Structure 1
Amino acid sequence: MKITYLFLLIKVVSFVKCAKILAVFPSPGYSQFIMGEKLMEELVRRGHEVTVISAFKPTKDIKNYTLILVDGLHETLTGDLYLQEDANPFKSILYLEELGQLITEHTLAHEKVQQLIHSNETFDLVFVEILVNEAHMGFAAHFKAPLVSFCSIGFSEWDAQFVGNVRLPSVSPLSLSSYTERMTFVQRLHNALLNWFHAIYKEVVSYPHQQKLLTKYFPGNLNLKDVIYNVSIMLQNSHASTTFPSTLTTNVIEIGGFHITNKELPSDIKKYLDEATEGAIFFSMGTNLKSADLPKHKLDGILKAFSKLKQRVLWKFERMDIPNKPENVFISKWMPQTDILAHPNIVAFITHGGLLSTTEAIYYGVPMIGIPVFVDQKMNVARSVEKQIAVHLPLKELSEESLSEALKQILTNQRYSKNAKELSNVFNDQMAKPLDVAVFWMEYVIRHGGAPHLRNAAIELYWFQLYLLDVIAFIIICIVTFCYAAKLLVRRLISNVPLRNRKQKIN
């Protein structure tokens, strides 16, 4: 069955003409670009021409790959990101919405982007990474091309409405919370308030601002609501094993893990891991957070905890002058994370809990210690804890003692390793490779000039119609009106009975 599916996939793909594709990856985080680069490289390999708007250069020169480099996007992530760990979800919503507005305008205002917008260029498809940058979806309307969207954090409250997918607050936690899909009454109440607050903020503040940016930087007086509800296909960096099982509309395609490939490790890292007879632990806080920015007392505690281990430690550390480094700790400013996690001697992964890191750990069956800080990291770690493949270590509790205890749990309790390997088997047991699926659906949209036949009717309804609030209100009004009319009728009937007859009845 799997071979037949792949044969048909290759056969269909072979009939797709060379297409011109515009891809917009505005995130200032490098991890998001890693996914975008992987997908664009595959499209080029299959004969397409791509133009990419991004803050990052590709790792190698690629034929038919044109980069529009938006410098300065990195500077939008200012301040100490570790301070976000204590922010409540309401403040996190405001922080991310404001950051998204800043990124959106910085990208659209860039000279080279404006040159593209006002050029005579044409495209067969526009691909946009979506996260609080709705005005960027205007590229598709401006170039009169079908739109494919992508969300790196999986299905969320930021993109569900674009394809008419209903997210019930009872089973869909806000991405910025620390909840899973199984919530208590208090958590469901809090989650409902968060979702309502976010929905109102988007309608009252965020969308009007995005409309202003759309009008300011695109000609033609584009309407934001027409732009955002014209998604042909939505690709999601998710899978039931890495996020959660959910009800998705027909034009939502899960491609979680599509970016994962195996490459040869650098010789020094390979030698270090090959000789780790007691196993090795990998520690990385991702691309946006830096281990070197941790407070000194926490760094000292981490080093002391590592010095007591018999395992070797690989630590992505952004400085090479770390004092008092134990002999069993190997540091480097950059490490090939997926290739390290693929090594058989890796026994644990200390991570910030980003979805890419979580996906890669599950893909290779590596148990985790999660130290989440912001965005979706707390929710990802909570899900991993619920699946019993991770231990949660709050950043504010990080110390020599707490880290040693977390390492002890992960390394001595075989339950975590066993569950991680079982979940890895589930994740890898798929009909086709996620990258092939992603390319198939993008070329599907190109072949058909869009996908209006997959359009969900829910996007044509107002929110109060979608949740039947107008119907409920009508029923309530009818009941109240009936009861009021019945009450008046009874009073009228009683008032028409002669007083003497009423007295006789009473006697």
Structure 2
Amino acid sequence: MESMTYAARILGVFPVTSSSHQIVYRAVMKELALRGHELVVITPYPMRDPSIKNYTEIDVSFMNKAWQNRFNFAEGRSGKETSHEMMANHQDFGGLLCELMLSHPQVKELISSQENHQNFDLIFLEMVTTPGIFGFIHRFPVPSIGIASLPAFGINYDSVGNPNLPAYAPDVFLPYSDRMTFFERMHSMFFLLWLKYYFYYTVIPTQDAIARRHFGTAMPYLGDLHFKPSMLFVTTDFIFHSPRPNVPAVVQLSGLHINSPKPLPKDLKEFMDSAPEGVIYFSLGSNVRSDTMDAQKRQIFLEAFSELPGYHVLWKWESDSLPGQTKNVKLAKWLPQQDVLRHPKVKVFISQGGLQSLEEAITMGVPLIGIPFFADQDFNVKRICGEGDRIKNRIH
């Protein structure tokens, strides 16, 4: 029996210059394209896959340098940066991302184009730190969906009228679980109140001025456009995150970026297969560079690994050499993480606690040692420490 479907033309706007964010959005956009929809995606991490003909990317990867210059992730919190300061720093940086992205020639052409082929049926907008991109809702007055690669901030839940419940659902920038002390609950409540005040009275006015320079003065106030999305997609899962009430407009996503198994490179497979006792996989993710770790902290790991000669250590290390490298340690600037974690000899994953890394480890059934550095990583590691035999540590 034959059937007919209608394809849509969809715009995706994802400014945050972190590959761990982008792999979530990429999974959604790619699947929509494979199902016949036409996609135009603004991203700092383009796929560059010519086999997908109905997928057009506007490459804004030049913004990645600003991200790297702004943040030293290896330093982490180090006891100096509070959750409030870290949130303010990321929200302020969002204004720079908006300015850089909206100034890109292809983005400016998209905004100014009067051609019919530049109309859209739906817009996906990243909801993290860049409300200035909501000017696209004014430029293309069609239904929109907000999407976040992590549990949404309280200000994002506001967009679709979802309740904020700081007494047992703390913000992801706080290092708390749903089982908080009285003072942690007080902090959670005051953090939410502060964030709302800071967002609506500092971030929104600042990015409203940026958006008006690019979308025109006829654009409605950004604080009003913030409430326009019809739905909010958030990267949460009832298995990992605490239960909380959500309105029907909130859709939970998880594990969308997890791919089908692929064979490991020959040298990598041989190294892992030959481990007498097993493999320790050590990766601090896409933002934290292991090679920027200070010598004293690095030496602690090397000494620990040297005392485990029966184990092979696979370490994501971004430089060509590691001073004091022991024989059982193999370095790689990039690793096919999902397929590494699928290897039966992997005994433990030393991770920075990024949500996508934790989803992969849970999916593959690999025990975790968490070393949180920034953003939601404390929140994530706190969560896994409460749900099983996992270890949380600090090297700051």
TM-score (norm. length: structure 2): 0.93
Q: Deviations over 1:34-80 (max 9, x none)?
A: 22222222112111111110112215323221111114211222242
Say if 1:23 and 1:53, in contact at 8 Å, map to a contact too.
yes
* Structure 1 residue aligned with 2:330: 330
Q: Given residue 226 of structure 2, which amino acid in structure 1 is its aligned partner?
A: I
2:179 alignment partner, one of 177, 182, 188: 182
1:373 aligns with 2:367: no
Cα separation, 1, equivalents of 2:285 and 2:277: 25
Matched residue, 1:233: 231
Distance (whole Å) between structure 1 residues aligned to residue 168 and residue 38 of structure 2: 41
Q: Is the 8 A contact 1:131 1:158 kept in 2?
A: no
Q: Which has the larger displacement, 56-65 or 178-187?
A: 56-65
What is the match of residue 245 of structure 1?
243
Give CA deviations for 1:71-91 in whole Å, capped at 9, x if unaligned.
421122224223341311121
- Is 2:84 the counterpart of 1:90? yes
AA partner of residue 348 (structure 1): V
Counterparts in 2 of 1:226 and 1:16: CA distance versus 1, 3 Å: farther
Aligned to 2:73: 81
Q: Which runs of 5+ in 2 are unaligned?
A: none
Which residue identity is paired with 1:337? Q
The answer to whether the Cα contact below 8 Å between 1:21 and 1:123 also exists between their aligned partners in 2 is yes
Instruction: Flag as ranges the 4+ runs of structure 1 deviating above 4 A.
Output: none
Structure 1 stretch displaced more, 59-68 or 126-135? 59-68
Residues 220-271 of structure 1, C-alpha deviations (whole Å, 9 max, x = no match): 3233233221212211111012222111110111111011012222222222
Identical columns (%): 33
For 1:221 and 1:167, how far apart are their aligned partners in 2?
29
What residue identity is the alignment partner of 2:269? K
- Tell me, yes or no, if the aligned pair for 2:283 and 2:352 is still in contact at 8 Å: yes
Give the residue type in structure 1 aligned to 2:228: N
Q: Is the 8 A contact 2:15 2:43 kept in 1?
A: yes
SS in 2 for 1:113: helix
| Alignment correspondent of 2:254 | 256
1:201-230 Cα offsets, whole Å, 9 max, x none, are 112101111221222211332332332212
Map residues 314-329 of structure 1 onto 2, 5 A cutoff.
314-329=314-329
Distance 2:272 2:33 in 1: 34
Q: Does 1:103 align with 2:97?
A: yes
2:169 to 154, 162, 172: 172
1:280 maps to which residue?
279
What's the CA shift for 1:347?
A: 1.2
> What displacement does 1:389 show?
4.0
Partner SS, residue 362 of structure 2: helix
Greater fraction of residues in helix: 1
CA contact (8 A) 2:235 2:254 kept: yes
Matching residue's letter, 1:150: I
Matched residue SS, 1:145: coil
Q: Is the 8 A contact 1:125 1:140 kept in 2?
A: no
CA distance in 2, matches of 1:130, 1:186: 29
Contact 1:124 1:146 in 2 (8 A): yes
Residue 141 of structure 2 is aligned with which of 105, 130, 144? 144
Contact 2:349/2:369, CA 8 A, preserved across alignment = yes
> Residues 222 and 263 from structure 1, CA distance in 2 versus in 1: closer, same or farther, beyond 3 angstroms?
farther
The structural deviation recorded for 1:317 is: 0.5
Q: Could you tell me how far apart the structure 2 residues matched to 1:106 and 1:242 are?
A: 35
Counterpart in 2 of 1:200?
197
Work out the CA distance in 2 between the residues paired with 1:308 and 1:60.
Answer: 44
Which residue is equivalent to 2:387? Answer: 387
Q: Per-residue CA shift, 1:363-393, capped at 9, x if unaligned?
A: 1121111111111000100011111242111
Residue equivalent to 2:25 = 36
Q: Distance in 2 between matches of 1:263 and 1:48?
A: 27
8 Å CA contact 1:348–1:367 kept in 2: the answer is yes
How many Å apart are 1:330 and its aligned residue? 1.3
SS where residue 159 of structure 1 aligns? helix
**Cα-Cα RMSD:** 1.7
Distance 2:275 2:25 in 1: 34
Between the aligned partners of 1:339 and 1:134, the Cα distance in structure 2 is: 36
- Per the normalisation by structure 1, the TM-score is 0.73
Tell me the residue number matched to 2:106: 112
CA–CA separation in structure 2 for the residues paired with 1:277 and 1:38: 37
1-side partners of 2:148 and 2:296: how far apart? 36
The correspondence of residues 378-457 of structure 1 with structure 2, limited to 5 A, is 378-396=378-396
SS at match of 2:178: coil
Structure 1: which 5+ runs fail to align? 1-10, 397-507
- For the 8 Å contact 2:138–2:219, the answer to whether it is kept is no
The number of residues matched between the two structures is 384
